Structure 1
């Protein structure tokens, strides 16, 4: 299923800046960055549960926020892109 993750991490302190880097790194392990603080992740239910736990353990819920948008497996007709930096199709094979 396609999950869109957005986050807002307070970076007023060094600890906040560290949390921001950690959140981005975890998200990169599961998907691709499409904008600042926005990731598209193609995951199964188990991976999604792990991802939520990992991110929840990083953020400070009094200062930071996470949002998860579950678009499911039939996401193609729910996503429209306009402008620069088109995203990769996460289901296509990657060629290096």
Structure 2
């Protein structure tokens, strides 16, 4: 059993990735952790420090460290209720479709 069974860790993940394929891979990975809030920014939630390490490693495996950069900012739970959002624009996730 995890030492923190009901605790979650929250992060803001921002990236600048030069290659379209790597960028798509990072986006797909991060979409499994939380919502995209800007084109290159996700709010990510992980269930444990080990899960966070897996996320970091997966991002490390995707990017080219000479061309790309990922920044991960920890978010304190008490501060989540203080987030200020100005504007109502929503990002629409790309929906893959088939033309038959």
TM-score bucket (shorter structure)? 0.7 to 0.9
SS of 1:48 mapped into structure 2: helix
What TM-score do you get using the length of structure 2 for normalisation?
Answer: 0.73
Measured on the aligned residues, the alpha-carbon RMSD in Å equals 1.5
Query: Paired residues, what number?
Result: 81
The match for 2:13 among 5, 16, 24 is: 5
2:38 corresponds to 1:35: yes
Shift of 1:58: 0.3
What TM-score do you get using the length of structure 1 for normalisation?
Answer: 0.76
Deviation string, structure 1 residues 53-82 (Cα, Å, up to 9, x no partner): 100100000000000000132232442111
SS of 1:74 mapped into structure 2: helix
Which structure would you say has the larger Rg? 2
Could you say which structure has the higher helix fraction?
1
Q: Which runs of 5+ in 2 are unaligned?
A: 1-8, 91-100
Residue pair 1:2, 1:75 contacting (<8 A) in 2 also: no
